[in-house]
Amino acid sequence: MKPGRRLIFWSFIAVFTAAVAWNILTLPGADTLKGNFKEQVFVRNEQNTGPIYRAYVVTLSDTLWSEMKEYGRFKPHTKYGVTEVYYFLESDKWPDKLYEENGRFQFDPRFQSQCLASYKKDAMGQESFIRYR
């Protein structure tokens, strides 16, 4: 290969690599959302061969409904599994644990009035977002 072509080839490779790296490093994530989301509780069933159930209790600083839904979309989901996120204001009381009942995780009912919303992605990948307040 001629020296001029070699320089063009390696310059192209360098620019391409830099563009790919920039694209990867600037992808949006849950930390780019407004609302100061903080994951307080996370539980996952111990089943590794069947449906995986994940549940989160998340606090935030404001009722940003569209941001809550987007935050839920950023959470991991497994095919035929269920991912559920419960949202609470950081200034309110929120549950510090979840317990399993009938194959899914629940929080103590006394916190229900403080729950702002819940996001759920079910086993078929269908999303639901329910506002409680």
Contact 107, 98 (CB under 8 A): yes
Domain borders along the chain are 1-29, 33-131
Please check the confidence at residue 16 and state whether its pLDDT lies above 90. Answer: no
What is the C-alpha separation between 73 and 19, in angstroms, rounded?
26
- Interval 30-86: pLDDT, tens: 666 788 899 999 999 877 677 889 999 999 998 889 899 999 998 988 888 899 999
pLDDT category of residue 27 using cuts at 50, 70 and 90: low
Report the percentage of the chain scoring pLDDT > 90. 40
The pLDDT of residue 30: 63
Q: What is the mean pLDDT of the chain?
A: 86
The pLDDT of residue 76: 86
Strand partners, 117: 87, 131
Strand order in the sheet with 127-131: 38-44, 53-60, 82-89, 115-121, 127-131
What is the C-alpha separation between 94 and 57, in angstroms, rounded?
8
Helices (H), the chain: 3-25, 65-74
